[in-house]
Structure 1
């Protein structure tokens, strides 16, 4: 591997940096999104039960201890449950919008790496070909393959490494994007459910459906 790095020239170092950065960004997002995705139906069911017993503070505490945007949205709804229905809906919606940038954090960086890695490889190819023609010019008219091999090696290696980094980076980006979309749908579902519960289905006496009519 080190021999390939040397033959690829200095352009291999930014390509290597891109590969390390892509791995770090991908693993960090995978871990974050894994923690952010919970079994929302079980979570909501437990919150409903606790709130219906009149213990909203305990429900808020459970939300604080549960990671992910769904728990944060539910917590926001519980803390603002005394608001009018329309205000409550807007508050919950704002909380959901605020969670999206956190979910999408670093995805742009991973996509950028996927886009610039093949360009770095292309730059290495151009530099390698320049070396080939310079060697041909200097050794003309008796240029040998050994005079040209360094530039050819650099052209091939940088192209291969650039594409080799871009493919998994782009695949990782799309995988993470699909996870974000799934969690976003879960957030929308949880927002609608907690709003319906607080406005219409709550039975602890603090708010009932009759009060909203």
Structure 2
């Protein structure tokens, strides 16, 4: 009787190969960014620029817009007592935007009220301009970054269909594979735009709070000077 010998099938190797093939491929962040193409370079530059501007302006605005809650009360008391020089030195030593505004205003005591108000307004505008320095770039980045991302996506789609026209091979795999790579630029541009847009408005909110505090303190300061009982305090 003849025995037919059937070669044994290596089920272990087959199962391992099937398992390996079944495992989804994972994308690393660096590889994903690299697939975006050359447009990712200016988008990355805009990202670092936006982060630098946001943090730089945040620390400047926070340090320059701070003031003591009793700041205007101390100045009011000094002015009411006729200590004009002390009040001016007190404001100067604050080394903040609020201090510089009232340092100039106190130096105008003795002049007509309208001139003092004009001084507060002028110096206040100068200090606000210093706080807002370079913030316009954040607005520009918020608008440019998404458009750069769309440009990268559109150019990639054009390239995909150009390659299809040359190869005369319409495959879902080819189209989807190339398209997801080009959509990376759109996503990256939108992310950078959102970061710049959010930072711009958060910084503006900080400046608006400082502007309101400056207006309130300026009103109280002018009110002190207009009181008849403080007439001697206007004399140097």
Q: Which residue of 2 aligns with 1:135?
A: 163
Contact 1:51 1:204 in 2 (8 A): no
Q: Would you say 1:176 and 2:176 are equivalent positions?
A: no
Contact 2:146 2:186 in 1 (8 A): yes
Q: Which residue of 2 aligns with 1:113?
A: 141
Contact 2:80 2:233 in 1 (8 A): no
Q: Would you say 1:86 and 2:120 are equivalent positions?
A: no
- The CA deviation at 1:163 is 0.8
RMSD between aligned residues = 2.3
Higher mean C-alpha deviation, range 172-181 or range 148-157: 148-157
Match of 1:191 among 198, 218, 233: 218
Q: Which residue of 1 aligns with 2:185?
A: 158
Contact 1:40 1:186 in 2 (8 A): no
Q: How many residues align?
A: 207
Q: Which residue of 2 aligns with 1:9?
A: 37
Q: In structure 1, how many angstroms separate the alpha carbons of the residues matched to 2:142 and 2:229?
A: 49
- The CA deviation at 1:147 is 4.7
Q: 5+ unaligned residues in a row in structure 1: which ranges? A: 209-213
Q: In structure 2, how many angstroms separate the alpha carbons of the residues matched to 1:19 and 1:175?
A: 17
Contact 1:7 1:150 in 2 (8 A): no
Q: 5+ unaligned residues in a row in structure 2: which ranges? A: 1-28
- The structure that has the greater radius of gyration is 2
Contact 1:74 1:190 in 2 (8 A): no
Contact 1:125 1:159 in 2 (8 A): yes
Q: In structure 2, how many angstroms separate the alpha carbons of the residues matched to 1:69 and 1:76?
A: 11
What TM-score does the superposition give when structure 1 sets the normalisation length? 0.86
- The CA deviation at 1:44 is 0.8
Match of 2:85 among 57, 81, 94: 57
Q: Which residue of 2 aligns with 1:206?
A: 233
Q: Which residue of 2 aligns with 1:211?
A: none
**Structure with greater proportional helix content:** 1
1:10 match: secondary structure = coil
Contact 2:142 2:192 in 1 (8 A): yes
